Structure 1
Amino acid sequence: MAHSTWERTGAERRADAYQEAHEALLLGQQVHNRRTELGLSQAEPAERAGMTQQQVSRLETGGVTPTPALLRRLAKALDAELNVTFTPHAAA
């Protein structure tokens, strides 16, 4: 018996990957905006957060997905609050 009823299609996997990449890019943009708002180079918050300048650069361009611990350190380095919200989907 085939398990095709529970296996995700290639299109579904690509859609999930696209969504994850989009979210990483949005997060990176928020980090970039806050850093430039403070007039900081990438190296300054990197040092404060225990990162390298290259890691901050990759994060700002959406190239990595940071761990919650790293997000907390980075928020502190940028004198910001880390706020995670779960919003229910609209009823169909």
Structure 2
Amino acid sequence: MDERRSWTDKRAEILDRPGAGAAYEAARIRCELGRAVRSRREELGLSQARLGERAGLRQPAVARFEEGGTMPTIPMLERLAEALEMRLNVEFLPLRGAG
């Protein structure tokens, strides 16, 4: 009979698969960007539809973006930043533990 395993063990097994780490990191980035856009949109009191109008997107595209469903291009991020009255800043940061 199979022994029950913890979520931590299961997650480690999944992330050990080839390409899984990169896919996990891409999903993390999409979710972080989506949360940042949603937070700023709400700060400004904008609906998804209104943000879409400002950025040249349709409301469903804004919704997908905010939920982490799409990986944006730099031009799309620039349009969103302008629509959110912000400046886009892209930077490279050292990996943890890199010397």
| TM-score, structure 1 normalization | 0.84
* Number of corresponding residues: 83
SS, match of residue 12 in structure 1: coil
Structure 1 residue 62 corresponds to structure 2 residue 68: yes
Gaps of 5+ in 1: 1-9
Shift >3 Å, 4+ stretches: none
Give the Å deviation of 1:88. 2.1
CA RMSD of superposed structures (Å): 1.3
Task: Note the C-alpha offset of 1:11.
Answer: 1.1
Of 77, 91, 94, which aligns to 1:85? 91
Correspondence for 1:47 among 50, 53, 65: 53
Q: Mind listing any 5+ residue stretches in structure 2 that lack a counterpart?
A: 1-15
Q: What is the TM-score of this pair, normalised by structure 2?
A: 0.78
Name the % identity. 47
**SS of structure 2 residue aligned to 1:58:** helix
Question: What do residues 28-87 of structure 1 show as CA deviations (whole Å, max 9, x unaligned)?
Answer: 000000000001000111001110000000000000011111110110001011111111
